[in-house]
Amino acid sequence: MEQISNKNKIQHSAQEIALKASQLIDAKPAKEEKATVVMNPDFVSLLTHEILGHPSEADRVLGKEMAWAGGAWWKGKIGEKIGSEKLNVFDDPTIKESLGWYYFDDEGVKTKKTTLVENGILKNHMQNRETAEIFDTPSTGNMRATNYRFMPLIRMACTCIGNGDWNVNEMIKEVKNGYLISNMKIPSIDMKRYNWSISCQYAQKIENGRLQIY
């Protein structure tokens, strides 16, 4: 039964990709305008990774990677409001079967869920043993190396925005003028993860709470 289910899922995904590809052949680029966007999970995960995940790595916050991999836009802002009160962000290496799942980091620290942003307030960064001393907080178990040839770095595991209580259809109904955007196309972001321009693969116009079909 599981094999049949997976086969059906693959076929459904293939049909959906084919439909979108055919629609994009004649699609027109969206005009530059101020509009509300509703993002699909793929696009949200990219923004979470780049704008909330990397700036949460304490070595970036301390400026130790500025010349190599970038810094953090919220340096020195722990305890401050950095977003909507509905914004909750966490990093969790304990989510089994996720790509970021592991039991201990390379310093032998047991992993746990770390709250980064709570109700819009910046609460913590991802820490190793060294940075934890500087920030006077426990290590979060995020010190890892790709393999034995590379030195360990503080890196996110599975960084997510916590669920809200609206589904996508409810969000769309509230939008008078905007777009439903899906999947990352070209990412562009500055070294502090502050200013960014990330294009999507597919966008559908929303007018008065309804998706427009052309």
3-state class (DSSP) for residue 177: strand
CA nearest neighbour of 29 among 206, 177, 201, 208? 201
Residue 1 pLDDT level (bands cut at 50, 70, 90)? very low
Q: Is-contact 105 141, C-beta < 8 A?
A: yes
- Give pLDDT tens digits for 114-173: 999 999 999 999 999 999 999 999 999 999 998 889 889 999 999 999 998 899 999 999
- Give pLDDT tens digits for 21-58: 888 888 888 788 899 999 999 999 988 998 899 999 99
Instruction: Identify the bridge partners of residue 153 per DSSP, sorted by sequence position.
Output: 144
| pLDDT cut 90: percent of the chain above it | 60
Per domain, the residue ranges of the chain are 35-211
> Using CA atoms, how far apart are residues 91 and 118, in angstroms rounded to an integer?
12
pTM of the predicted model as reported, rounded to 2 decimal places? 0.83
Q: Is-contact 164 172, C-beta < 8 A?
A: no
